[in-house]
Amino acid sequence: MAGKYKTINIPVELHEAFERMAASYELSQIGLMQAMMQYFKATKADPRDPKTDNPTDALKALDKRLISFIRQQEKEILKPLADDARQAADIAYGMQEDMKDWEKRYSKMLLRHLGTAIRPEALNPTFFAAWQQDQEEMRQRRADLQAFLKKTTEEPKPNGR
């Protein structure tokens, strides 16, 4: 800063502290004064209030509040939303499995009805094979059911009396 200079009258102890501060920041006394002026202008800090928050501490506090806010949002909104999405996916998967089961049952029912309405030998060989397999399964179920009913309806024999 070229030009005229002015002097400031300050006590000797304060001047010595100012010199030490300039040296600790590796600045000249003029450089330190310029830096201080820029700092107070930029931060709008009041130099009369020595308890003004350190910007680093203020950033740390803001960071802590922001992290706390994000965690709270995660707890209250994101986790329940994710749980709901998982539950919906589970329901959808269950419905998909139910649809597969329904499709299988419907196909078998259709096979039974078509097989009785059309001469089996006129059917496509693949369809005919599926129809025969279904008919065999039905015969086996009927036989198992008849055997079970016969077994359960038989009267127990008395024990020699």
Please report, for the chain, the start and end positions of each structural domain, with discontinuous segments joined by +.
10-47, 55-101
Q: Identify the three-state secondary structure at position 18.
A: helix
- pTM to 2 decimals? 0.34
pLDDT tens by residue, the chain, 161 residues: 567 888 889 999 999 999 999 999 999 999 999 999 998 888 887 778 766 567 787 788 888 899 999 888 888 888 888 888 888 888 888 788 888 778 777 777 776 666 666 666 666 777 777 778 888 888 898 898 888 888 877 766 656 55
- Cβ atoms 134, 111 nearer than 8 A: yes
Instruction: Read off the tokens for 101.
Output: 């089961």
- Return d(Cα 2, Cα 20) in angstroms, integer: 24
